[in-house]
Amino acid sequence: MAKLKLDELNRVSVADFKNQQKLPIVLVLDEVRSLHNVGSIFRTADGFAVEAMILCGITAQPPHREIEKTALGATQSVDWSYFPSTVAAVLELKATGYTVLALEQASESTLLTDFSPSADTKYAIILGNEVNGVNEEVMKLVDGCLEIPQFGTKHSFNVVVSAGIVLWDFFAKWHKK
């Protein structure tokens, strides 16, 4: 077995990426403070070909060298927009037909392992601040809440790890249908 070289990976160009079918998910970053986390989520969103990202509040916006350190160019491929308020972003997403789900530990959350996305539904998934999670005002507006099962001593995963887990889960479940 040999590792593939970069030119053997058959990656699409940014222009082709823009035109290809996307995973019908918009990632909403609710006050994500680390620029490296923002860049890593861009890179993960590119890897799963998500529809778009919405950056809210204090979440840093490209172009920024600290975002690019981890995004590795994904800020050019993944469509993104900025909202000063996550509440405003959620209200707009809901008005345009998205089912909005928080990724959070909450009293009425659904374990990700028990969730089955509908093939004809557009989803927006809210990823919260590294310390405080998804804002309480935003939690009042969501259509549901997903929770990643955890079995260790820590109370949460890093926001980038959480993004990767939830996107892989959605991707795998969609492609089974």
Average pLDDT over residues 8-24: 95
Cross-strand pairs, 144: 101
Residue 107 DSSP label? T
| Residue 177 confidence (pLDDT) above 80 | no
C-alpha 23/C-alpha 34 separation (Å) is 25
Q: What is the average pLDDT score of the chain?
A: 97
Q: What is the pLDDT of residues 114-163, one digit of tens each?
A: 999 999 999 999 999 999 999 999 999 999 999 999 999 999 999 999 99
**Residue 175, pLDDT score:** 84
**DSSP class per residue in 129-142:** BTTTBS-HHHHTT-
- DSSP per-residue letters across 6-58: GGGS-PPPHHHHHHS--EEEEEEEES---HHHHHHHHHHHHHTTEEEEEEETT
Cβ–Cβ < 8 Å for 138, 172: no
Q: What pLDDT shows up at residue 35? A: 98
Residue 120 is classified by DSSP as T
- The three-class DSSP label of residue 102 is strand
pLDDT tens digits along 163-176: 999 999 999 999 88
156, two tokens: 């949460």
pLDDT higher than 80, residue 67: yes
State which amino acid sits at residue 15. Answer: A
Check whether 85 has a pLDDT greater than 90: yes
Mean pLDDT computed over 29-51: 98
Q: What is the pLDDT of residue 176?
A: 81
pLDDT at 38 over 80: yes
Q: Where do the structural domains in the chain lie, given as residue ranges?
A: 19-148+155-176
Name the amino acid, one letter, at 122. Answer: K
Confidence at residue 131, expressed as pLDDT on a 0 to 100 scale: 96
Looking at CATH, the fold of the domain delimited by 19-148+155-176 is given as Alpha/beta knot (3.40.1280)
- Rounded Cα distance between 152 and 80, Å, is 34
Percent share of the chain, pLDDT over 70: 99
